[in-house]
Structure 1
């Protein structure tokens, strides 16, 4: 299901600019795998492939485009049972803020005192 969402988002990105010409549009869809590639003349370049591993989809892909400021943007990702994970990004993704001290202490306390039901 997750890959359907990612696929729909990528199609929306591709069709957001109606003036873009399609340079490449390859797709192969099977029961237990899929792959596609889309390249537009406005710098959008997308590739994605997925395989069904048991009951779990493992999807890997890359996206690239040029920002309105002229900067090259690219993302490499994987989506699986652990969710969507960015493997690399250019420009790099911002560093998340540190966990507040009170929250960190609460997490440590919870880890040290597991629920009796568990």
Structure 2
């Protein structure tokens, strides 16, 4: 009886851990500014494939790519060609999304980019 109980507990524990591995979680991502002309996206490692998308304020997709997150990613985006406005970088894994926004604004004789709150 004791052996059967241990076997059942072992199966329950292994099923629970297996289920948590397969459920997608919200991707952990950070965005930082590099020299007012590049934005760097860092996404934590996860056993999943993600879609990275850069959109403008009206939802036009400017960039989209599917990436493997097993080793995480660090990707730089050249934003020097973007006009003033609000942009969104999103990382999607299944139905889970992480969205980071940034604004490109003109200051007399120079362009300034600000990151929105985390």
Q: Mark yes or no: TM-score above 0.5.
A: no
The structure carrying a bigger strand percent of its residues is 2
- In the superposition, the TM-score normalised over structure 2's length comes to 0.29
Structure whose CA Rg is larger: 2
